[in-house]
Structure 1
Amino acid sequence: MRKWVKEHGLLLANAGLFLAFFVGMILSGAAAYSEDQTTHGQPGVTVLEYLSTGDFVEATFENWESEFLQMAMYVILTVFLFQKGSSESKPMGKTAPQDQDPRDATIKDSTPWPVKRGGLVLKLYEHSLSILLLLLFLASFSLHAAGGAAAYSEEQQSHGQPTVTMLQYLATSRFWFESFQNWQSEFLSVAVLVGASVYLREKGSPESKPVAEPNYETGT
């Protein structure tokens, strides 16, 4: 068990932090939503009731949407683009291991089965990481729109205005403001990481070059 935990420590730590912060978001979100309801003469909600509100769905998936977009675009852009001196870039002027054609690989027992199978299965497997991230982005984008439409309609009703459908909500400036304010921050953080890793180091981290390596060296 101890060995398994050590082998999966990075995933477990991030999953644990996600759950802790997600619970914190739910509890504080339910409290904030209930306060807003009370202010407008409406009854507050329990935590479980809050989970079914458009407010919760919108708040959750507008953030997930930006994270998956960021990671999908980062994975795709690093296939084609380089940053001299950055640990986040593939080496320049030489072939990286990631560029090797799996069809030329020596088949072993440990070789992933899509590589052994070949054909369309291998073609999909070659791009499976970006496909997964893009699908998660599209799902989150849709749920953001659905939750946002429900929350917006609730506000509209409280002011005696007509409700909106999900498609109508997609045409509002509010939806795109929510999306763009998250998207811009995600790409800012990536740009800072890519640029800072040229000159700065973190000993022991695979996201950093070795501390004594020159700034112009590209890749890990």
Structure 2
Amino acid sequence: MTGWLRERGLVLVNVALFVLFLAAMSVTGWQVANQEFADHGLAPESFAAFLGSGQFVEAVFENWESEFLQMGSYVVFTIFLFQKGSSESKPLDGPAPQDEDPRRHRDDPRAPWPVRRGGITLVVYENSLLILFGILFLGSFVAHAIGGAAAYNEEQLQHGGEIVNVVQYVGTSQFWFESFQNWQSEFMVVALLAGAAVYLRQRGSVESKPVHSPHDETTG
């Protein structure tokens, strides 16, 4: 059992932290929402009602949307773009193992099934990481729009304003403000990691070059 956990520790720890922080967000968000209700002289809502509210849905998927956009974009950018000296980049000169045509390994019995199958199955498989992030981004974008429209309409009704549908909400400055405030931070962090990895090190981390490596050496 210890060996199984060690082999999957990176995913398991991150999933556990995700669940922990999502639960903490849910509880504290519920408390904030009920404080706002109390300030307006309204009865508090149940925890279950809060989880189904536009406010909670918008808050969750607004952040997920930016994360999936960041990672999907990073997958694409690292195919074509380089950063000299960064461990986040493929080598500038010479072949990279990621670029090798998997069709050369069709007869390898240990190759994944789509590689051995070939055809459209392989085409989908060799782009499956980007496809996954694309689907997750689009799903989160739509959920953000739906939740945001619901939250926006709740506030509009409280102040005698006009309600909007989801498509109309996507055309508001509010929706794009919510998106851009997260998107900008995601790309800032990626740029910082790619640039800092040229000069800074963290011994033992795959996100870092070996501590002894020259600054101008790209080891991705």
Answer yes or no: same fold by TM over 0.5: yes
Q: Does 1:211 align with 2:211?
A: yes
Q: Distance in 1 between matches of 2:117 and 2:203?
A: 40
Q: Tell whether the 8 Å contact from 2:105 to 2:116 is kept in structure 1 after alignment.
A: no
Q: Aligned in 2, Cα 1:106/1:122: closer, same or farther, shift over 3 Å?
A: closer
Q: How does 1:3-152 map to 2 (within 5 A)?
A: 3-105=3-105, 107-152=107-152
The amino acid of 1:55's aligned partner reads Q
- Give, in angstroms, the shift of residue 93 of structure 1: 0.8
List aligned pairs for 1:180-195, cutoff 5 A. 180-195=180-195
Note the C-alpha offset of 1:159: 1.0
- Tell me the equivalent position of 2:172: 172
Shift of 1:106: 5.5
| TM-score, normalised relative to structure 2 | 0.98
Query: Displacement, 1:110?
Result: 2.0
- Letter in structure 2 aligned against 1:82: F
TM-score by length of 1: 0.98
CA distance in 2, matches of 1:53, 1:168: 19
- How far, CA to CA, are the matches of 1:44 and 1:122 in structure 2? 53
| Number of residues of Structure 1 aligned to a counterpart in Structure 2 | 220
2:200 aligned residue: 200
Q: What residue ranges of structure 2 are gaps of 5+ in the alignment? A: none
Once the two structures are TM-superposed, the CA of residue 109 in structure 1 deviates from its matched residue by 2.6
Alpha-carbon distance in structure 1 between the residues aligned to 2:49 and 2:59: 15
| Structure 1: runs of 5+ lacking an equivalent | none
What fraction of aligned residue pairs are identical, expressed as a percent? 55
Superposition deviation, residue 219 in structure 1:
2.4
The whole-number CA distance in structure 2 between the counterparts of 1:164 and 1:153 is: 7
CA RMSD across the alignment: 0.8
How many Å separate the matches in 1 of 2:116 and 2:158?
Answer: 60
